[in-house]
């Protein structure tokens, strides 16, 4: 395959994230051509549409890669079948429901010789790579994460997100953890956590984490789905040579209070540029540290019951 040839792509799960991000990024990019879609409820014009995933795998007609945009609880079986069929696989975040599933998929892909890309879209925000570069020459003394949003605004009617395996407030919180682990070197350690569960839900609506970096710097994180009014997605890093702040989910970068990086959202465009690079060079990119931090938060977390959540 040459760099000028478009990669034939299938998209599984034609929901909101697919229509808002995946489809426009492919249509506006130069690397992928969506040839097939698999969904019980949605269709993509100009693509061959399937309701059955198994039927698609039996009639995939030259498709090389697939993007899995389904909820995480069904993604393992779909990814497993795609890998067995020899397809290169892109997985929406979080890549799997458990660390066991994630690690198993990485081993399967390696043995099959296919590409596996576990995406963390917030890592592709405008300010994240410049932040990593700036921090690479500094001593980090502390990190503070404040990630507070209104669940009714961003996840209306998504009942699965409150069920076992649905992640609750860690669905957005894992975005912050993906940025953290991209800009801070080494493994981050969870020391303790406090998790707030609505009386009528299986997943937390808020969480407080105390962590430390591999070098010993303290890291605190506050996640909350009850934020009304202005929404907050900030990461502040104190260093021996100044203060760095990533705002608006990584879209803006401030150094000592001065805005140094901003621009239009291109997270998913960059994801597909990266996926094309991986497919053409036959390399995988599957970092599961953000998922491991969520798992560790549940392992170390104190459970607190709060008032019932009524949408």
Verify whether residue 248 is a known catalytic residue: no
Tokens of 196: 């707030």
Kindly report the CA angle at 121 between 274 and 91, in degrees rounded to 5?
70
Selected catalytic residue, list 16, 35, 80, 93 = 93
Residues designated catalytic: 93
């Amino acid at each position: 395959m040459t760099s000028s040839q478009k990669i034939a792509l299938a998209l599984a799960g034609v929901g909101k994230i697919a229509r808002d991000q995946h489809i426009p990024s492919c249509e506006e990019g130069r690397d992928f051509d969506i040839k097939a879609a698999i969904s019980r409820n949605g269709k993509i014009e100009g693509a061959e549409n399937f309701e059955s995933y198994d039927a698609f795998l039996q009639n995939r007609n030259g498709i090389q890669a697939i993007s899995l945009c389904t909820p995480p609880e069904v993604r393992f079986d779909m990814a497993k079948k795609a890998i067995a069929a020899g397809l290169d696989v892109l997985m929406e975040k979080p890549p799997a429901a458990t660390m066991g599933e994630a690690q198993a998929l990485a081993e399967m892909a390696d043995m099959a010789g296919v590409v596996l890309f576990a995406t963390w879209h917030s890592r592709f925000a405008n300010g994240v790579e410049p932040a990593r570069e700036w921090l690479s020459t500094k001593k980090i003394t502390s990190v503070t994460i404040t990630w507070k949003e209104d669940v009714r605004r961003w996840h209306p009617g998504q009942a699965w997100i409150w069920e076992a395996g649905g992640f609750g407030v860690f669905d957005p919180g894992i975005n912050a953890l993906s940025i953290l682990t991209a800009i801070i070197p080494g493994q981050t350690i969870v020391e303790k956590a406090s998790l707030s569960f609505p009386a009528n839900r299986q997943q937390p609506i808020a969480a407080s984490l105390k962590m430390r970096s591999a070098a010993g710097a303290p890291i605190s994180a506050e996640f909350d789905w009850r934020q009304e009014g202005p929404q907050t997605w900030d990461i502040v890093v104190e260093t021996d040579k100044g203060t760095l702040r990533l705002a608006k989910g990584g879209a803006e970068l401030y150094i000592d209070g001065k805005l140094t990086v901003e621009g239009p959202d291109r997270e998913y465009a960059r994801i597909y540029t990266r996926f094309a690079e991986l497919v053409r060079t036959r390399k995988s990119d599957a970092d599961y540290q953000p998922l491991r931090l969520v798992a560790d938060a549940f392992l170390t977390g104190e459970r607190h019951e709060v008032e019932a959540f009524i949408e």
